[in-house]
């Protein structure tokens, strides 16, 4: 297992439509949680950070309405986004969701997406649209199948991978449970790798080398 650990997680700010985002984190790394409402995005952040008061969660969908930034190890951001597919939401609110997401996704600060799927359910049409967006814009992603505790141990890996396949992705998703922290080590290791890789990319290309290449 990797030696990456979350030593500190601090809520920084919430951003709504038209409000400013915080300055990018020192490492430039920003990992955002996307997925349908109620899939467990806020719970995943809490479980990873071992702090159940960090992000607000709720049994009823539509809890997270703003973009919430959490600074990890004073180094990179985890970002909690509002979920989609909340059928009961009024039309105006769904339009707001679209604008909020479009603004954020086009801001160019996001470096990786954790896309969450409920391990028990087939991906929805909206999940597939979201995934197509991710692929179209070439955003690096990791698939996480949430609520793994709802299935028997023997079925989890297969169900997680099947959900990924139905999405149209390579058939690999990390089964995760915010109830019993199954998958936590794997997601933390992934986070450490994302963090390091990004730094490597940023530090190996020096402006001088770019200039030499152009000449
Ligand atoms: N059994 C189980 N329940 C979970 C798990 N993760 C989340 N939940 C429950 O699912 C519900 C929704 O969780 P949230 O984390 O608020 O979901 P969300 O994706 O942030 O939802 P929105 O903010 O509405 O988009 C809550 O009742 C959580 O307790 C899990 O791994 N296992
Ligand atoms: Mg939430």
Helix (H) or strand (E) holding 112: strand 112-118
CA distances from 150 to 9, 35, 87 (A): 28, 18, 23
The answer to whether the CB of 47 is under 6 A from ligand 1 is no
Residue 3, Cβ neighbours under 10 Å: how many? Answer: 7
Kindly list the distances between the CA atom of residue 84 and the CA atoms of 61, 65, 98, 186, 191, in Å, as whole numbers in the listed order.
9, 10, 9, 26, 24
Cα 194 to ligand 2 centroid, rounded to whole Å: 23
pLDDT digits (tens, 9 = 90+) for 105-134: 888 899 999 999 999 999 999 999 999 989
List beta partners, residue 143: 115
Query: Measured from the CB, is residue 62 less than 6 Å from ligand 1?
Result: yes
**In the chain, % of residues over pLDDT 90:** 72
* Ligand 1 atom at minimal distance to the Cα of residue 176: 31
Please tell me the residue having the least CA distance from ligand 1 atom 22: 37
CA-derived radius of gyration, the chain: 17
User: Model-level pTM?
Assistant: 0.91
Phi-psi region of 32 (alpha: psi -120 to 50; beta: other; left: phi over 0): beta
Ligand 1 neighbour 28 (Cβ under 6 A): no
**192: three-class secondary structure by DSSP:** helix
pLDDT digit string, tens, across residues 76-89: 999 999 999 877 77
Residue 207: the pLDDT is 41
Instruction: Give residue 127 CA to ligand 2 midpoint distance, Å.
Output: 16
- Residue 214, pLDDT > 50, answer no
Q: What is the pLDDT of residues 42-88, one digit of tens each?
A: 999 999 999 999 999 999 888 888 999 999 999 999 999 999 987 77
Q: Give me the pLDDT at residue 209, please.
A: 46
**Average pLDDT of span 19-40:** 96
Q: 9-214: CATH homologous superfamily?
A: P-loop containing nucleotide triphosphate hydrolases (3.40.50.300)
Q: Which of 84, 9, 86 is nearest to 47 (CA)?
A: 9
Tell me what pLDDT residue 41 has: 97
Has residue 144 got a pLDDT over 90?
Answer: yes
pLDDT given for residue 206 in this prediction:
44
- Burial string for 40-79 (b: 16+ CB within 10 Å, else e) reads bbbbbbbbbbeeeebbebeeebbbbbebbbbbbbeebbbb
Give the DSSP H/E element, type plus range, for residue 113.
Answer: strand 112-118
Q: What pLDDT, on the 0 to 100 scale, is given for residue 213?
A: 43
Cα 13 off chain centre by: 17
Residue 91: its pLDDT value, please? 84
Q: Evaluate whether 160 touches 186 at the Cβ level (below 8 Å).
A: no
Give the pLDDT of residue 167.
95
Predicted pLDDT of residue 1: 53
Do 10 and 198 contact (CB within 8 A), yes or no? no
For ligand 1, whether the C-beta of 40 sits within 6 Å is yes
Ligand 1 contact, 186 CB (< 6 A): no
Domain boundaries defined on the chain: 9-214
């Amino acid at each position: 297992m990797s030696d990456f650990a979350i030593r500190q997680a601090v809520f920084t700010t919430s951003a709504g439509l038209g409000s400013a985002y915080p300055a990018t984190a020192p490492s430039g790394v920003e990992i955002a949680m996307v997925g349908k409402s109620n899939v467990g995005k806020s719970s995943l952040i809490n479980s990873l950070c071992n702090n159940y008061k960090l992000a607000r969660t709720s049994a009823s969908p539509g809890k997270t309405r703003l973009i919430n930034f959490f600074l990890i190890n004073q180094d990179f951001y985890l970002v909690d986004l509002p979920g989609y597919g909340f059928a009961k939401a009024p039309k105006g609110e769904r339009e707001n969701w679209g604008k909020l997401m479009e603004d954020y996704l086009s801001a160019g600060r996001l470096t990786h997406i954790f896309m969450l799927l409920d391990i028990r359910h087939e991906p929805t049409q909206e999940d597939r649209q979201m995934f197509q967006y991710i692929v179209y814009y070439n955003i690096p992603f990791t698939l996480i199948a949430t609520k793994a505790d709802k299935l028997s141990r023997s079925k989890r890996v297969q169900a997680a991978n099947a959900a990924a396949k139905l999405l149209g992705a390579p058939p690999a998703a990390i089964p995760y449970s915010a109830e019993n922290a199954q998958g936590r080590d794997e997601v933390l290791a992934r986070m450490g790798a994302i963090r390091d890789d990004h730094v490597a990319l940023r530090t190996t290309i020096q402006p001088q080398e770019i200039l030499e290449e152009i000449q």
